[in-house]
């Protein structure tokens, strides 16, 4: 496989932590969220009253508590069956703060809502990466071209075909799953859009040494699988 050396752009990260048992005492969960989340995260990011909001609903499915993080570039949201954290435009120097926010959010669940437990988590990320020039991108993507699609472009001159790649890895007992895709970015020609999804039961994290270690190991595995070498 021809490899491609790329420079990563800021990344979008979304983490969803699924509870083993959904919350039934929502008023109590709201109070714990209001008291616990800003207190745990204030050392990482300034949190003002306007950053915290709640939705009042007759259905648990629609109930939520939200705390904006990093001036609105991130958020932590509690629903009856899920705790979600999202972060926009994450640069490499910001990874430490992002994973520390995730660790403290997860700690809130285990300490304040221990009876609900954690079943599994999913982490999704998307990121543009920049290559040296258009020719390098063309050569890299060209090795994944599908003969049937190429044949169509020969008979349809107005159609442009751009190959892409997607790989999926599953642990042999199907405890965790990793998906990686690489395709042409919609921004500039020398950019590629790289998306990664990780699904894992909470019980498997210890074998990786923790969440950050699991993400780093699986992302490195995905890069090797699709032939990407990241600068720096």
Span 47-94, pLDDT tens digits = 999 999 998 888 999 999 999 999 999 999 999 999 999 999 999 999
Asked if the model's pLDDT at residue 100 lies above 90, the reply is yes
CA distance 75 to 66: 7
CA distance 164 to 193: 10
Considering the domain architecture, whether residues 164 and 61 belong to the same structural domain is answered as no
Domain that holds residue 55: 21-116
Strand partners of residue 170:
177
Give whole-number Cα distances, 26 to 22, 39, 63, 181, in Å.
10, 20, 8, 38
Amino acid 189: pLDDT? 64
Of 81, 116, 151, the position where a domain reaches its end is 116
Of 116, 135, 154, the position where a domain reaches its end is 116
Calculate the CA dihedral of residues 20, 112, 206, 218 and round it to 10 degrees.
80
Least confident of 151-155, 171-175, 192-196: 171-175
CA distance 102 to 112: 15
Of 72, 90, 116, the position where a domain reaches its end is 116
* DSSP string computed for 157-192: TT------EEEEEE-TTSS-EEEEEEEE-SS-TTEE
Structural domain tally of the chain?
2
Considering the domain architecture, whether residues 109 and 142 belong to the same structural domain is answered as no
Considering the domain architecture, whether residues 147 and 218 belong to the same structural domain is answered as yes
Considering the domain architecture, whether residues 110 and 27 belong to the same structural domain is answered as yes
Considering the domain architecture, whether residues 73 and 129 belong to the same structural domain is answered as no
Q: What is the pLDDT of residues 117-158, one digit of tens each?
A: 999 999 999 999 999 888 899 999 999 999 999 889 888 888
Amino acid 188: pLDDT? 65
CA distance 198 to 175: 11
Considering the domain architecture, whether residues 8 and 25 belong to the same structural domain is answered as no
Least confident of 59-63, 152-156, 177-181, 185-189: 185-189
Amino acid 229: pLDDT? 95
């Amino acid at each position: 496989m021809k490899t491609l050396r790329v420079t990563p752009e800021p990344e979008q990260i979304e983490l969803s932590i699924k509870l083993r048992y959904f919350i039934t005492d929502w008023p109590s969960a709201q109070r714990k969220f209001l008291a616990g989340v800003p207190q745990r995260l204030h050392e990482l990011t300034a949190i003002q009253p306007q950053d915290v909001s709640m939705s009042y609903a007759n259905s648990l499915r629609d109930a939520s508590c939200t705390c904006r993080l990093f001036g609105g570039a991130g958020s932590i949201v509690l629903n009856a069956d899920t705790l979600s954290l999202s972060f926009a435009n994450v640069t490499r120097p910001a990874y430490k703060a992002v994973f520390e926010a995730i660790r403290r959010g997860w700690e809130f669940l285990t300490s304040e809502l221990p009876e609900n437990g954690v079943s599994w988590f999913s982490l999704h990320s998307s990121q543009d990466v920049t290559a040296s020039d258009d020719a390098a991108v063309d050569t890299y993507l060209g090795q994944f071209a599908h003969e049937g699609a190429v044949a169509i472009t020969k008979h349809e001159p107005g159609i442009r075909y751009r190959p892409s790649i997607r790989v999926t890895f599953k642990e042999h007992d199907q405890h965790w799953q990793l998906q990686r895709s690489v395709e042409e970015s919609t921004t500039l020609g020398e950019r590629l859009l790289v998306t990664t999804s990780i699904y894992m039961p909470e019980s498997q994290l210890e074998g990786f040494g923790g969440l950050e270690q699991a993400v780093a190991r699986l992302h490195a595995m995905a890069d090797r699988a699709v032939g990407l070498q990241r600068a720096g």
